[in-house]
Chains A and B, each alone.
Chain A
Amino acid sequence: MRIFRAGLRKMIGRPASFVSVGLLVGLLGLILLAAATVQENGARGSANARALITFPGAYDLILSFMFGLGGLVAVIYGAAIAGSEWGWGTLKNAVARGESRTRYMLGTFAAIVVMVGLGLAITFVLGVLLAVVAASIAGISTAGLTDADALNRLPAMVARGWFAVVEEAGLGFAIATLARSQLAGIGAGIAFYFGEGFASIFFPDVIKYMPFAVARASIDTGGGGFGGGDGGAAAAAQALTPDTALVLVGVWLVGALLVTVLFTERAEITG
């Protein structure tokens, strides 16, 4: 618990936390405001753009964005946190004070889980506010904001999405631990993220079981356009049911944490 609290204290003050949420909210805001400025002219593109800021459909855009690009941001965030522990020598400090390596890494990751939840919640709330503003600018009714069906679906979607994004953060965390470096961890995390999407074009039957594909599939419950990311991986992931994918998300998350813990326990800390 002490490590968890210390982890939260470290992450709340860390610029990477603000930048991650700021990036998500900023980009989402730009999309929503861009959609608001599209003139209604009867064309299909115009109708699609207006659909993005029309509730309850706007919820789908916000969640898709949060869990799509949010997944990539989570990989980077997880890698940054784990990598800096090695690069800055702060893991060394804790170990030299007699702290358990396993507890340190798991406590730190638990803080990441909370930070990811906090970041997603902030992004969602601000995203909805921005969508309302965009709808107002475009002169679109916001009556669908309280659509009962959409609101009923939200908690389950958010919970699944959070879990998926946490898994992606866990992958970044594990990769950076293996790399013992922020930069290498972030670079490798991004490469895996996009590499998996690219590989799904050639090996869809294999890639659909891979961590980022299952994360996308786990939130694609058919109720909306969740999933984000690239089309190839999303298409490949279609073969898995969301519930199967959710189980695999759990398997990948546990695997990532196991790798992190085993590597850290065995590692010779020389930095």
Chain B
Amino acid sequence: MTSPGTLALATRGLRKSYGKRLALDGLDLSVPEGVVYGFLGPNGAGKTTTMRLLTGLLHPDSGSIELLGRPFRRGDRQRLFEVGALVENPSFYPYLSGRANLGVLAQSGATVPKGRIEELLELVGLRERAKDKLSGYSLGMKQRLGIAGALLSDPKLLLLDEPANGLDPAGIVAMREMLRRLAAMGKTVFVSSHLLAEVRVLADVVGIIAAGRLVREGPLDSLLGDQGLVRVRVARSEAGAARAVLERIAPTDADGDPADPEPWLSVHVEPNRAGAVNRALAEAGIYASGLESGTDLELLFLQLTGGGAPSSEGTFGAAGVTAGVAPSQATGGNAATKDGQG
């Protein structure tokens, strides 16, 4: 955890329920200033509820929020003048142009400097289409406009809920660069996402939420430091012998369904030792039918969240619970992927 005093955003014991359903159960977030913070969690974990609480759309049942070093309570709406937010979907008037929508939005909350709208339209690449009605915009264009809306007041703290939604690959890269640039300028960017690969390349600090509680938080590199893993798949008849061989290299776990004719074994070593693992098995006369490795945020995520994420968005399917490593994230050895990953 980061020491208090340098925090752009902090929550303590934040609780929120919708009727009988508990959405947040004592959330403690510590977001340092000047970083990109990746707020990760499976669907329904409480990410959007957190975003709504941080922007005053919802009121917590208990707990406290600090924005930019000062308490944010009901009635402290002016604290949000230094915060820019994109919560859930970008929301605009469909019959107005992109420029007019930003103009209308600029009339609420903190005052917006003259010329800022044109500057932002340029920044998000919408200048050419600024006169067009929003109803003609693609999802990605609406998302860009939403990000422009969040930046209207040149906020010190930026809260973005799934900002990559609908963006094409070039748009995602541009957005990532822009967010990194903002962080480099000393602004704090809080990004809620379920796109682990995106967070992996974007965030400095990560918080993982599951069932309304923060289960891990810290600098990404530090969190991933002990997440190196090599996984091998062997015939069930050879699993015992293989495990004995691998235990000599590093602690090894059986993975997945024990009744599987070819179970997976997980060896907790650095990914670049996948070759050594494979060699050790071969020297013992055991040949792996599958091998994968990585330093994997997804694996950490699945371990911490119990791997039970709903798969409605196709991101965390059942296969992902056991397979773990997407090709783009594999850092060594052979990356054997399964359906629904990558």
- Taking beta carbons and an 8 Å cutoff, which residues of A are in contact with B? 2-3, 5-6, 9-10, 13-15, 84, 88-90, 92-100, 104, 268-270
23 A-B pairs whose Cβ atoms sit less than 8 Å apart in the complex: A10-B96, A10-B104, A13-B95, A88-B92, A89-B89, A93-B105, A93-B149, A94-B105, A94-B108, A95-B56, A96-B55, A96-B56, A96-B85, A97-B80, A97-B153, A98-B79, A98-B81, A98-B110, A99-B109, A100-B77, A268-B57, A268-B58, A270-B58
Contacts of A100 in B (CB 8 A): 77
User: Which 9 A/B pairs are nearest by Cβ-Cβ distance?
Assistant: A89-B91, A97-B109, A98-B80, A6-B107, A94-B108, A99-B108, A96-B55, A269-B57, A98-B109
By beta carbon, the residue of chain A nearest B104 is A6
Instruction: Count residues on chain B whose CB falls below 8 Å from chain A CBs.
Output: 33
Task: Say whether B108 contacts A93, CB under 8 Å.
Answer: yes
B145 to chain A, nearest CB (A): 11
A-B interface pairs (CB < 8 A), number? 88
**Neighbour of A96 across the interface among B78, B87, B93, B96, CB < 8 A:** B87
Contact with A along B88-115 (1 / 0, CB 8 A): 1101111110001001110111100000
Shortest Cβ gap from B120 to chain A (Å): 14
B200 on the A face (CB < 8 A): no
- Is B52 close to A, CB under 8 A? yes
Q: Is B131 an interface residue (CB 8 A)?
A: no
Contact with A along B31-72 (1 / 0, CB 8 A): 000000000000000000000100111110000000000000
- Please give, as numbers and ranges, the residues of chain A lying within 8 Å of B104 by CB-CB distance: 6, 9-10
Give 5 new A-B contacts, CB below 8 A, not counting A92-B87, A97-B81. Answer: A9-B100, A10-B96, A13-B96, A98-B78, A268-B52
Contact A14 B108 (CB under 8 A): no
In Å, the complex CA distance between A89 and B91 comes to 5
Min CB gap B109→A, angstroms: 3
Most chain A beta-carbon neighbours within 10 Å: one of B58, B83, B108 = B108
A14 to B272, CA, bound (A): 61
The chain B residue sitting closest to A9, CB to CB, is B104
Q: Give Cα A65 to B100, complex, Å.
A: 35
Q: Which of A90, A98, A269 interacts with B93 by CB under 8 Å? A: A90
A73 to chain B, nearest CB (A): 19
Kindly identify which residue among B59, B88, B110 contacts A97, using a CB–CB cutoff of 8 Å. B110
Which residues of B in the span 314-340 have a Cβ within 8 Å of any Cβ on A?
none
Q: Is the CB of A92 within 8 A of B77?
A: no
Minimal beta-carbon separation of A177 from chain B (angstroms): 16
CB-based contact B91/A92 at 8 Å: yes
The reply to whether A269 and B108 contact each other, CB–CB distance below 8 Å, is: no
Q: Give the residues in chain A near B56, CB-CB below 8 Å.
A: 95-96, 98
Scan B179-200; emit 1 where CB is below 8 A from any A CB, else 0. 0000000000000000000000
Kindly report which residue of chain B lies nearest to residue A88, judged by CB atoms.
B91
Q: Within 8 Å CB of A269, what residues of B?
A: 52, 57-58
Docked Cα-Cα span, A88 to B78, in Å, equals 24
User: With a CB–CB cut-off of 8 A, which chain A residues contact B80?
Assistant: 96-98
Chain B, residue nearest A101 (CB): B77
- Verify B92–A3 contact, CB threshold 8 A: no
- What is the chain B residue whose CB lies nearest that of A104? B108
Shortest CB distance A271–B (Å): 8
The listed residue (A2, A5, A90) touching B92 by CB distance below 8 A is: A90
Whole-angstrom distance between the alpha carbons of A67 and B319 in the complex? 65
Partner of B95, one of A14, A89, A93: A14
Contacts of B153 in A (CB 8 A): 97
- CB neighbours of A268 from chain B (8 A): 52, 57-59
A92–B79 Cα distance when bound, in Å, is 16
